[in-house]
């Protein structure tokens, strides 16, 4: 008997260190996907490993109604580093759970039901989050999903203005669409979303599950636009690969006292990993390094004569639109060049490497890309 959801690749991974993964046959792979951005400080960073070991020896788990030092510390750290006014933290196990909580919190606080989401957007695979996700291939087998979800074109402020009204509970936006093909939002669009939701009394929710934790050159992608949401969701890299998500809210959302819970909310071991990860990101100014390395990587790609239609993104969240199928390119990179990356649609190669990569890693990637495209 075997698993049936994931289609397993013909590479068995045994261990990881920094920007590299190592197969069970000893082959070294440069990891430019970081398993969907979950290792911002690199694979098995010693500080994170030590924090996990120490906490596991003391206490593996106790429910969130009993205060635990590591969980309390993470509440405080997330509230401190989140955009201004977001002081209330809910911990869960994944990005989709964080978005489910955000939907519930917004509906509870506003007394409304309509959710506005965007075409090409992706917010998760559970029923609520899936209802806000655009692609039919993710949704069709499970319909009917939640109703009262209205989709608008990403980046179209006029269309957004037409649908945000006094029946709207929340507008969900990714500051940069990830699964949808690495599409950054204009500053003016995010600012308009902020104005429209404030006027309507609706919650503005930024899904920073993929864009957060320093990936775009600041700790949160919304900082580039100077726009603060009412709710921010994050996951993926927050605990260096251990399962943790967070929904961070403004007072007016939390003060409505939503009824919500989770058995595994804020486990001490994953909180220890998250605290160590956040310490590294902030104290070593890793987001600034990601900005610098992202610029270098994009410049090096654009300096080639490769058959590339577009290179877009911000920091170390980069999409390369190619003229051939992305999945075939990914296969060739992995099997011929020992470089791992990700797709974002049929023609976009998505790069989400550890934020600690240096120029030599970027050069190695570009050389491999040249080899398979030429």
Q: Binding site annotation covers 346?
A: no
Q: Binding site annotation covers 125?
A: yes
The H-assigned helical ranges of the chain are 34-37, 46-58, 69-81, 95-110, 127-131, 136-139, 157-163, 187-200, 251-254, 268-283, 286-302, 326-337, 359-373
Count Cβ atoms below 10 Å from residue 302 Cβ, excluding itself: 11
Contacts of 71 (CB under 8 A, 6+ apart): 64, 91, 266, 268, 271
Three-class DSSP category at 53: helix
Q: Binding site annotation covers 207?
A: yes
Q: Binding site annotation covers 263?
A: yes
CA-based nearest residue to 233, from 35, 97, 58, 40: 97
What are the beta bridge partners of residue 112?
A: none
Q: Binding site annotation covers 95?
A: yes
Cα angle at 99 between 156 and 203, to 5 degrees? 55
Count Cβ atoms below 10 Å from residue 135 Cβ, excluding itself: 15
Q: Binding site annotation covers 209?
A: yes
The Cα–Cα gap between 187 and 210 comes to: 18
Give CA 230 to chain center in angstroms: 18
DSSP 8-state class, residue 43 = B
Report how far apart, in Å, the C-alpha atoms of 71 and of each of 183, 245, 347 are: 34, 13, 41
Burial class (CB in 10 A: 0-12, 13-18, 19+), 14: exposed
Q: Binding site annotation covers 122?
A: yes
Annotated binding residues for pyridoxal 5'-phosphate, written as ranges, equal: 95-96, 122, 207-210, 263
Bind-site residues for substrate: 125, 262
Q: Which residues are annotated as a binding site?
A: 95-96, 122, 125, 207-210, 262-263
């Amino acid at each position: 008997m075997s698993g049936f959801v994931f289609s397993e690749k013909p590479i068995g991974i045994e261990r990881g260190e920094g920007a590299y993964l190592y197969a069970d046959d000893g082959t070294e792979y440069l990891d430019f996907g970081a398993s969907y951005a979950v290792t911002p400080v690199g694979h098995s960073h010693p500080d994170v490993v030590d924090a996990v070991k120490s906490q596991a020896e003391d206490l593996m788990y106790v429910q969130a109604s009993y205060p635990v030092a590591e969980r309390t510390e993470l509440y405080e750290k997330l509230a401190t580093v989140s955009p201004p006014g977001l002081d209330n933290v809910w911990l869960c196990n994944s990005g989709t759970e964080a978005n489910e909580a955000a939907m519930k919190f917004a509906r509870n606080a506003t007394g409304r039901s309509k959710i506005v989401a965007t075409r090409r957007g992706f917010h998760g695979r559970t029923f609520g989050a899936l209802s806000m996700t655009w692609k039919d291939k993710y949704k069709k087998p499970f319909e009917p999903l939640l109703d009262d979800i209205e989709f608008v074109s990403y980046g179209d402020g006029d269309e957004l203005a037409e649908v945000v009204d006094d029946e709207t509970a929340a507008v969900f936006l990714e500051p940069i669409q990830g699964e949808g093909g690495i599409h950054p939002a204009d500053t003016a669009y995010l600012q308009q979303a902020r104005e429209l939701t404030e006027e309507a009394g609706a919650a503005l929710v930024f899904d920073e599950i993929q864009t957060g934790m320093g990936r775009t050159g600041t700790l949160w992608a919304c900082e580039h636009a100077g726009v603060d949401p009412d709710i921010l969701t994050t996951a993926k890299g927050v605990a260096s690969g251990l399962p943790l998500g967070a929904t961070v809210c403004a007072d007016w959302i939390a003060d409505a006292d939503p009824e919500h819970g989770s058995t595994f909310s804020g486990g001490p071991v994953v909180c220890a990993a998250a605290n160590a990860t956040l310490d590294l990101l902030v104290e070593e100014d890793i987001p600034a390094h990601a900005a610098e390395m992202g610029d270098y990587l994009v410049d090096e790609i654009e300096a080639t004569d490769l058959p590339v239609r577009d290179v877009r993104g911000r920091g170390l969240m980069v999409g390369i639109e190619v003229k051939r199928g992305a999945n075939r390119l990914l296969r060739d990179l992995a099997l011929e060049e020992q470089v791992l990356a990700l797709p974002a649609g049929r023609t976009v190669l998505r790069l989400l490497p550890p934020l600690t990569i240096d120029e030599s890693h970027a050069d190695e990637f570009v050389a491999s890309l040249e080899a398979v495209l030429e």
